[in-house]
Amino acid sequence: MLQRGAAGRGTARGVAATTHAARPYVPRWSRAAAARVVRAAAPSPPPAQDTARGTEAAGPGPSSSSAGGGGGGGAGGPLLSLSALFGRGGGQQQQGPTPEVRVPLNNVGKVPIFQLLYELYSSHGGVFRMRLGPKSFLVLSDPGAVRQVLVGAVDKYSKGILAEILEFVMGNGLLAADGEHWIARRRVVAPALQRKFVSSQVALFGAATAHGLPQLEAAAAAAAAAAGDSRGGGAASVDMESFFSRLSLDIIGKSVFDYDFDSLRHDDPVIQAVYSVLRESTVRSTAPFPYWKLPGISLLVPRLRESDAALAIVNDTLDRLIARCKSMLEAEGSIPMPASPSSPSSSTATSSSAPSSPSAPLEESSAPTVLHFLLGSGEALNSRQLRDDLMTLLIAGHETTAAALTWALHLLVAHPEVMKRVRDEVDWVLGDRLPGSDDLPLLRYTTRVVNEALRLYPQPPVLIRRAMQDDVLPGGHVVAAGTDLFISVWNLHHSPQLWERPEAFDPDRFGPLDSPPPTEFSTDFRFLPFGGGRRKCVGDMFAIAECVVALAVVLRRYDFAPDTSFGPVGFKSGATINTSNGLHMLISRRDLTGVPPPAPRAPAAAAGAAAGSCPHAAAAAATAAAAAAVGCPHAAAAATSGAPAGVTPQ
């Protein structure tokens, strides 16, 4: 079961070779070939060195991952298409002081595009032009330039080819839309995912994760049995990437349109159809030209026929859900609003010794959904538009979150000292309870771990834009209308010019835990896992909360160790950065002997007294003495702050 679904595992392939011998850039993986880099003029200052992926990453970090066999999937994905840009738009000519490099087409697809762009960044600096066959792109890894495109001159840029690639599945959905239509959709969709709604979903995140734990154990037991392991209760290997992929599908289905995929427990035609559609998006985004538009092509290409059939299944399901929700609202005569933020901390405790399903089964959840909110928004929406919105949220919110969880666990397992701090926090805040919305502000270190995992593995690693008007970027880089741009989030997040020890996994790098979480603005556009400006992700709070809750639930209950029989964890890039071969972990029940009980919950009165200040304050007041009394590992810090080490009440 926990063999990963097909999402993001497309047979993506790079562009067919069209060797362009003239003064090509020669990447590190083919240094043998003769090469000369074209430089139009003096480049922007390059990063300090081109060996940025230094020794710190030698265990878990991106470089070791890539060394471990990444690059399988080739370049691109729904949010990142390289080859699909060929022959379209354009109009770029060499201008101003912008360095230029020519990359032979046959080098495309040998490694994920973000790795190629990192190599080029190392030698060409924060803004350079990359020529690929007849096409050229401006590649931005400079925070000032990125800020201008995403914020300062945002009106001059569109999503470019994304709409074309994703049209078959998302139609006019928010992610790829532009102009007036985007404004109208954003106005409706963004409020649906605001903080109140996210708070109302926290219990569901925990319940969904707990719901999958028996399946995790079953998969481990089956793996152990298959391996002839008779230890019983011992460690056995499970693909955690698959687990997180299914978990995030289950969550997005419930939260957005109240569909219980329950993919952690079974496969059904709708789940298969969803993965088939996602796979097709990835394949299309890496195709050399939009062949799917050729008349009659789906009669000739079985994969396209399958994808059409899959899309029909998903669309039909969404239409039925929309109809159901509409008639429910009509019957109620009410407009549901996102639930209050004070959704109770879950009382659905799971036993530490026997992880179990939550007491409230998923199908009985009465949480509001995004669909309820969209229908209740008062906007006149036809079913097609609603379907596009739902499909967009399904796609945008599924693989991104699954990938974030996958890499966070990968990093944690490779860094026991960080893992310990996460567990101390989870034990202290939750114990065996499932998280409630009021626990989230207390899980600050876990939140920083998710931030840091997203820095090291941004999803997607590259954003796409197209200039609709001429522009000039800081540094005098001229952007002609029609220019396609790659914003390399990967480069921004890994730059040795922008970060100290960029390859180190260091959740403390964002400052004290009681400081606000990092954003694109607080980091001067060095850190933008959710993009920035008005096209910023609408699901950022949802995603962070989901990741924190899922990690807390899983890490409280299980120990993880890499299953080295699968070799090092490599990566490949689709829409998101996937592992090349799964995240295979040996899992075993965590031994909680000697783990102190969680801090007592603050009485309502204390919480009320602290209202308006940091939620840590109430907990701190109630738990400082208790922490010391029970010998909590945080006692020293708690004695002064009432919170785990590193958490300072405001």
- Binding site for heme, by residue number, is 537
Q: Which of 186, 265, 303, 589 binds ligand HEM (CB under 6 A)?
A: 186
Using rule CB under 6 A, residue 437 touches ligand HEM = no
Using rule CB under 6 A, residue 271 touches ligand HEM = no
User: In Å, how far are 251, 496, 524 from 45, measured between CA atoms?
Assistant: 44, 12, 18
Round to whole Å and give the CA distance between 370 and 19: 49
Round to whole Å and give the CA distance between 39 and 129: 10
| Closer to ligand HEM by Cβ: residue 531 or 642 | 531
CA 38 to chain centre: 35
Question: The tokens of 452 are what?
Answer: 């840091």
361: left (phi > 0), else alpha (psi -120 to 50), else beta? beta
Between residue 506 and residue 545, which ones bind ligand HEM under the rule CB under 6 A?
529-531, 535, 537-539, 542-543
Both ends of the chain: CA-CA distance in Å?
A: 45
Between residue 455 and residue 474, which ones bind ligand HEM under the rule CB under 6 A?
459, 463
- Return the CA Rg of the chain: 24
H-state helical runs in 227-301: 240-257, 269-285, 297-300
Q: Which of 6, 111, 149, 175 binds ligand HEM (CB under 6 A)?
A: 175
Between residue 438 and residue 457, which ones bind ligand HEM under the rule CB under 6 A?
454
Q: Least distance to ligand HEM from the beta carbon of 317, Å?
A: 18
Q: Which residue is nearest to ligand HEM (CB)?
A: 539
| Closer to ligand HEM by Cβ: residue 174 or 203 | 174
Residue numbers in the known binding site are: 537
| Closer to ligand HEM by Cβ: residue 76 or 355 | 76
Question: The tokens of 329 are what?
Answer: 């609202």
Could you write out the three-class secondary structure of 385-399? HHHHHHHHHHHHHHH
Q: Least distance to ligand HEM from the beta carbon of 244, Å?
A: 11
| Closer to ligand HEM by Cβ: residue 251 or 555 | 251
Question: The tokens of 542 are what?
Answer: 């949802």
| Closer to ligand HEM by Cβ: residue 81 or 401 | 401
Strands (E), 270-423: none
| Closer to ligand HEM by Cβ: residue 467 or 638 | 467
How many other CB atoms are there within 10 angstroms of residue 56's CB atom? 16
Element (H, E) at 463: strand 462-467
Using rule CB under 6 A, residue 574 touches ligand HEM = no
Using rule CB under 6 A, residue 281 touches ligand HEM = no
Using rule CB under 6 A, residue 494 touches ligand HEM = no
Q: Least distance to ligand HEM from the beta carbon of 461, Å?
A: 9
What are phi and psi for residue 283, nearest 5 degrees?
A: -60, -45
Between residue 192 and residue 211, which ones bind ligand HEM under the rule CB under 6 A?
193
Q: Least distance to ligand HEM from the beta carbon of 203, Å?
A: 17
H-state helical runs in 495-629: 540-557, 604-609, 615-629
Q: Least distance to ligand HEM from the beta carbon of 479, Å?
A: 17
How many residues contact ligand HEM, by CB under 6 A? 23
Using rule CB under 6 A, residue 587 touches ligand HEM = no
| CB 98, CB 145: distance < 8 Å | no
Residue 81's SS3 state is coil
User: ω before 460 within 30° of 0 (cis)?
Assistant: yes
Q: x-or-dash pattern for ligand HEM, window 382-401, by CB under 6 A?
A: ----------xx--xx--xx
| Closer to ligand HEM by Cβ: residue 412 or 618 | 412
Question: The tokens of 369 are what?
Answer: 């959904």
Binding site for ligand HEM (CB under 6 A): 174-175, 186, 193, 392-393, 396-397, 400-401, 404, 454, 459, 463, 529-531, 535, 537-539, 542-543
